[in-house]
Amino acid sequence: MRITNDFLQAAGLLEADLIWSQDMEAIRRDLATYLRAKAGLSSANHPSLISLVQHLLAEENDLTV
């Protein structure tokens, strides 16, 4: 369930109107849609996709900031 929630949180972060680099701006909405579609697979997702989600959330969930 945690991986599913992480995917949904990452999708929400990508959908937020934050300041993104131009490269990320070009793909963030499509990536958010893809992550929402794959969230239900949970740990059956490809390890690289799970890693990507973790990298997106690393700073967002960093309690030391």
pLDDT beyond 60 at 38: yes
Q: Residue 41 contacts by C-beta under 8 Å, 6 or more apart in sequence? A: none
What is the rounded CA–CA span in Å between residue 18 and residue 64?
20
pLDDT beyond 90 at 64: no
pLDDT beyond 70 at 62: no
What is the rounded CA–CA span in Å between residue 23 and residue 3?
26
- Round the average pLDDT of the chain to a whole number and report it: 91
What is the rounded CA–CA span in Å between residue 30 and residue 21?
15
pLDDT beyond 80 at 54: yes
pLDDT beyond 60 at 57: yes
